[in-house]
Amino acid sequence: MLDNLSEEELLIIHRGFYVFGDSTSLKILYELNKFGDKNFSDLRDHLNINPASLSKKLKVLIEVGLVVADRTHDNLRVFYSIGKHRRALRKFLESFEKISKQL
């Protein structure tokens, strides 16, 4: 099956495993999925994540298109939310959670 995939498709799969294999990234995605838009401080406080780590993980999540960063009208704050794949990501996270409980 993987023989038929292009290099670009393999790269996309690799990035997916990289993101979903990281516990901090999963925490961020679960938080945004469950509670909606959050700013940096809210994510840091709710998830108890080191600011440098949070910044790095958000950058990766934005680069792969799973998270979107939107500035407020006054440009003072940035709110993070699940990107265009919200429905697919929600299904994935719910399935992933069910499978994890069975392990």
pLDDT tens digits for range 4-16: 778 887 777 777 7
Q: Which of 19-28, 30-39, 56-65, 86-95 has the lowest mean pLDDT?
A: 86-95
Sheet of 78-82, strand order: 38-39, 78-82, 67-71
Token duo for residue 12: 């996309």
Token duo for residue 79: 């709110």
Element (H, E) at 63: helix 51-63
Give Cβ neighbours of residue 30 (< 8 Å, ≥ 6 apart). Answer: 93
Domain definitions of the chain by residue range = 7-102
pLDDT tens digits for range 29-78: 989 988 999 999 999 999 999 999 999 999 999 988 889 999 988 878 89
- What CATH topology corresponds to 7-102? Arc Repressor Mutant, subunit A (1.10.10)
Token duo for residue 33: 């999925």
